[in-house]
Amino acid sequence: MSVKTGDRLIGVIDLSRLWLWAEFYENEVGLLRQGQKLDISFPAFPDKTFEGQIGAIDRRLDSMKRTTRVRIDLDNPDGQLRPGMFANVELKIDAGEGLTVPLDAVLPTGSRSLVFVDKGSGKLEPRFIQAGRSFTQSDSNGEVSYQEVLDGLSEGERVVSSANFLIDAESRIQGALKTWDDQSEPKETSFPATPAQSQNPRLSQDAVPALQSVLKAYDTIHDSLANDEIEGVAAKAVALRGAIRQLISRTPELMKQEGYRNALTKLRRTGESFDARNLEDARAQFGFFSADLIALLTLYPQLSDHPLYMVSCPMWKESPARWLQTGPQIKNPFLGKRMLDCGQVSGPLQAVK
């Protein structure tokens, strides 16, 4: 081997200071400032937190993913970090004072967001709100997700959250949303009192496999939509409808109760109208079905071998934007591969044994 003047023989890389490229969603860009400090964690070092700061913010936006790239400057004096590693970036901001509600109190209805205001004496007022940013606050008890409210609520008003949303006429609420969504202001309404969740009757053991079949069929459709696959969804919807009919036939005693009967009948009708002709229609129908399934599992104890995580997507506007999945890693069925991890976990819905 011969060399001559000017030939490059070796490259020396200084890894004492690294660049980390992170992506932030479009609705988060306004929170970013050059020089901001961030906490960074790496799967390779789960018990250690590193500190970096924003060095540059890309002025371009990815039109498909709706994200912008941010360069984070990170010291690496010990050489622990290596190029190509995955990282989780946490940006802590002082959002100032404002009105917030628990994230699971907000019901996306498509074009607008809805909450139920407790007016006392068993009366609830459905109220459209202007929602701002959602965020997660960490404390000694874990993480709690909140939704900023820009308009539609006043300080001190009580709203109904998912944890105690035990309304016996849930199916009537879901059906009424379509009517209310066309009105400027929904009217106050009242609902019969419902016993606490622990008092709701449980499924009999012979009905458990039927419910598990419903959840399994639902999960297979979720996976297909998250992978941008429409082929096979129609057949999976047929299996879902069959599982629902089987659940109805195996719960004759529960079907005598108005709340359960209405909720499950609504779920059956939504399943029967599931349209899988194209991907976008299937995703919209999946949103409506998910809303009815969440309503059923909120009203009545569900028996499952694992918790179901409830996730919401702030970018989806074509139908209710919540769904259930079997793990905490977000797999968005509405946006698919272009924004697979877009969403906020507000569950889990724990199984009742």
Lowest mean pLDDT among 156-165, 169-178, 215-224, 332-341: 169-178
What is the pTM for the complete model shown? 0.53
Is 304 a residue whose pLDDT tops 90? no
> In this predicted structure, what is the pLDDT of residue 111?
61
> In this predicted structure, what is the pLDDT of residue 12?
73
Mean pLDDT of 240-252: 89
Query: How many Cα atoms sit within 13 Å of 154 on the Cβ side?
Result: 3
One-letter amino acid identity for 70?
A: V
N residues, the chain: 353
Is 17-90 a CATH 2.40.30.170 domain? yes
The CATH number, out of the four listed (3.40.50.2000, 3.40.50.1220, 2.40.420.20, 2.60.40.420), of the domain defined by the range 100-194: 2.40.420.20
Is 330 a residue whose pLDDT tops 80? yes
Task: Please choose, from the candidates 323, 325, 346, 328, the residue with its C-alpha nearest in 3D space to the C-alpha of residue 144.
Answer: 346
> In this predicted structure, what is the pLDDT of residue 141?
60
DSSP 252: T
Per-position DSSP letters for 73-100, written without gaps between them: EEE-TT----TT---EEE------S--E
Where, residue-wise, is CATH 2.40.30.170 in the chain?
17-90
Where, residue-wise, is CATH 1.20.120 in the chain?
199-345
CATH code at 199-345: 1.20.120
- Model confidence band, residue 164 (pLDDT cutoffs 50, 70, 90): very low
For 197, list phi and psi in degrees, rounded to 5: -60, -35
- More confident site: 54 or 121: 54
Where, residue-wise, is CATH 2.40.420.20 in the chain?
100-194
